[in-house]
Amino acid sequence: MHNFDNATQFIKEADQLLVLSHLHPDGDAIGSTLAAGHLLRSLGKKVTMVNESPIPQKFHFLSGAKDIYLPDNISEKFRYVVALDAADQARMGQCSRLFTRDVQILNIDHHATNDQFGTINIVVPTAAATAEILFDWIEFMNVKWDLPLATSIYMGLLTDTGGFRYSNTTPKVFRQAAQLVELGIESHVIADIVLESTTLDQLRLLKKALSTLQVSANGEVAWMVLKREDVGPDQEMEGIVNYARNIVGVDVGILFREVGDQLVKVSLRSRTKTDVGKLAKSFGGGGHARAAGCTIHTDLSQALQQVLAYLSVERECDQ
């Protein structure tokens, strides 16, 4: 199965390992990091977990989340590295400063774009999450499951499938979820904390965004606008753009966010028709057909005009 023999051999050779994932970590990045941490420790290894970015508050309830360090707080260097959910080394941020020159990397990822940077590469684009690959590896090695391990894996499956709502939610994902719930994880508590919970600040921001909501005359494009003073530092924006995209009849939802002087971040989501990855690319950004983003060096009103022009939206609109 995949390269699990080599991966298992890799960790047998190592006494001490660095486990990391990509910057701005999401549920799969954090869940995979913690799962690998638990796993390697249960095999008697010394493990250091690291991430370029702080772990968001809502993931702090996970066992071990507070033991994921920023690279600045680590002085050692590591010869054995397990890289998770990172398509290339740039995604690790400063973490690669902690590698020795003769570093050996076990690269486990589900992104099709992974550039195979590892010494050993287990890249499985059909997997919904990196956590799904780890699940298989855990079973391959016949490691005994415990609750922290099962919870970390569930976190990855849950978040990378959008709560079992995206098209990557395969029968296999559901079967893994069944097995994890059978082990006794509190899946409803995890879902409540990670997918349902919000803050007063987020709701205030949502209210502000909703008050700017506009829909194109043909009903297919909806957008919202946030000014610089609307958004607090480190405020989570995730999900707001979806309110525009989720309107019945809408294909493209957009959030324009002023982040600086002559600097507008544009988040794009689409349902089925428009390739917003292409749109974002034409403005120097990136992403894929259904979710993408770009940054435009102009003011809000210009950014709005340029993106809507691309989408052939006439500005006479239905508030």
The contact set with its own copies (CB under 8 A) reads 58, 163-167, 169-172, 174-175, 177-179, 181-182, 186-188, 191-192, 195-200, 203-204, 206-207, 210-211, 213, 215, 242-243, 246-248, 271
Q: How far apart are CA 8 and CA 261, in angstroms?
A: 51
Whether the Cβ atoms of residue 83 and residue 92 lie closer than 8 Å to each other:
yes
Closer residue to its own copies (CB): 175 or 228: 175
Of the two residues 200 and 229, which places its CB atom closer to its own copies in the complex?
A: 200
What's the CA dihedral at 232, 233, 238, 243 to 10 degrees? 20
Residue 214 Cβ vs its own copies, minimum distance, rounded to whole Å: 10
**Smallest distance from its own copies to CB 217, Å:** 13
Write b or e for each residue in 164-202: b if 16 or more Cβ atoms lie within 10 A of its Cβ, otherwise e.
Answer: eeeebbeeebeebbebbeeeebebeebbebbeeeeeeeb
User: Closest distance between its own copies and the C-beta of residue 58, in Å?
Assistant: 8
CB of 249 to its own copies, least distance (A): 9
Considering the complex, state which of residue 103 and residue 193 has its C-beta at the smaller distance from its own copies: 193
Measured from the CB atom, the residue of 86 and 209 that comes closer to its own copies is 209
Angle at 114 between CA 110 and CA 118, to 5 degrees: 100
Burial class (CB in 10 A: 0-12, 13-18, 19+), 218: middle
Between residues 147 and 195, which has the closer beta carbon with respect to its own copies? 195
Kindly state the smallest distance separating residue 100's Cβ from its own copies, in Å: 41
Residues 93 and 29: beta-carbon distance below 8 Å:
no
Is 121 or 159 the residue whose CB approaches its own copies more closely? Answer: 159
Burial (CB count within 10 angstroms: exposed 0-12, middle 13-18, buried 19+), residue 143? middle
CB of 174 to its own copies, least distance (A): 4
